[in-house]
Each structure stands twice: as C-alpha cells, then as structure tokens.
Amino acid sequence: MKLPIIKHLANFIEENDQDYVIETIETLEALTEVPSLKDEELDVIGELISNMYGAIEVDKMIKEGMPKKEALNAFMKRVLGSIDT
C-alpha cells in the first residue's frame, strides 16, 4: 500500500463518490479471473485493489469526524501494525 495513492484516492472519493471506487474494485477483481494473466500483472492489480480499499477505509474515518491527515496516519499505522505481527 502506498500512502500517496491512498491519499489521492481519498480525495477522489471526497470530490466524487465512493461508488466509483467500489465499481472499479469489482472490475479489477473480475479481471483477476483471466487465466492468461501473469503473476506480475496479478500483483499490480492486487496492489491497486488494496490501495482502493485503503482509501475507502480512510474515507470512512473522515466521515466519522477524524481529520484527513489523522485518518491517513491512523490507517497506515494499523496496516504497519498488522504486518509486524
């Protein structure tokens, strides 16, 4: 996951609508079923999906009243914490 991408997507959600990102996730998930995709291509799609889910989670925290910068930092701390365990 990359914080600049998550931040950019969170801004996109704020300016537009979360539904665009959810539909994009669904489209990318459908693409992962293409049998001819290489592992590297699947990795890229997986990274994009992860960043989009991260942006949705950050948007949720912002809508619950957390400032954007704090929501981004809290999300990344949570992600890094889950990697350490």
Note the pTM of the prediction, 2 decimals: 0.88
| Residue 17 phi, psi dihedral angles, 5° rounding | -160, 145
Distance CA 85, CA 74 (A): 17
Range of the domain at 65: 3-84
Domain total for the chain?
Answer: 1
Nearest Cα to Cα of residue 11 among 79, 69, 64: 69
Per-residue pLDDT tens over the stretch 8-64: 999 999 999 999 999 999 999 999 999 999 999 999 999 999 999 999 999 999 999
Tell whether the model's pLDDT for residue 84 goes beyond 70. no
> What is the reported pLDDT for 1?
83
